[in-house]
Amino acid sequence: MTLFPAFLKIEGRRCLVVGAGPVAEGKIEGLLRAGADIRVVAPEATDRIRDWVRAGKLRWERRKFRPTDFAGAFVVVAATSSPALHAQIYKKARRRSVLCNVVDDPEHCDFYYGSVVRRGSLQIAISTGGHSPALAQRLRKQIEQEFGAEYEQWLEELAASRKRLFAKTLSPERRKLLLHRLASQISFEEFLRRQKRKKK
């Protein structure tokens, strides 16, 4: 099976999380970062999830899962300790055309959480198709060494330069050439030199 790589815009979209333990916590954190409208259903929750509830970052319904919880959901994440419940959630999600991720159960997933390197707006996601999350984590650590914090600032500079270029009257070919020059290794090395001069 070949996966389709995509970065979803889920800001403001309803995401249902069934379960509120330590594993669910990590999944919720990623959804919060993306600005999702999160609804958690679970009898109990970790202290951190309770803190998010108190801060108004998500809604928590302190009870067991019900099929009606799918109403309006774009994505569902199942992170409980019950394989039987997970199978039920996945089956119902498929029937309703809701994207589903059952934690640590590749067979019951429409999508996987990738191992992600984040440098501001730059995101590099790694997936092994559920075959080896450990390998994905190791590769993430390697890539983190290669792409340091300076990439966040450089990307901000590239975004500003791109905006200026699109404000000019240029042919598409010329604009493309200039954009690729701005994103080149030579351009990055020049950016690093400018940053060093600023620190002196």
Convert the pLDDT of each residue in 125-154 to its tens digit: 998 888 888 999 999 999 999 999 999 999
Hey, which residues does 158 pair with through a beta bridge?
none
Residue type at position 139: L
Convert the pLDDT of each residue in 27-83 to its tens digit: 999 999 999 999 999 999 999 999 999 999 999 999 999 999 999 999 999 999 999
Please say if the pLDDT value at position 1 is more than 70: no
* Mean pLDDT score across all residues of the chain: 94
Domain segments of the chain: what residues? 14-113, 114-147, 150-199
Say which DSSP state 123 is in. E
pLDDT reported for residue 81: 93
Q: Residue 80 and residue 17: Cα distance in Å, rounded?
A: 10
Same fold, 14-113 and 114-147: no
Share of the chain above pLDDT 70, in %: 100
Which fold does the domain 14-113 belong to in CATH?
Rossmann fold (3.40.50)
Convert the pLDDT of each residue in 17-30 to its tens digit: 999 999 999 999 99
pLDDT reported for residue 50: 98
Share of the chain above pLDDT 90, in %: 86
Residue 98: Cβ-neighbour burial (10 angstroms; 0-12, 13-18, 19+): buried
Give the CATH class of 114-147: alpha beta
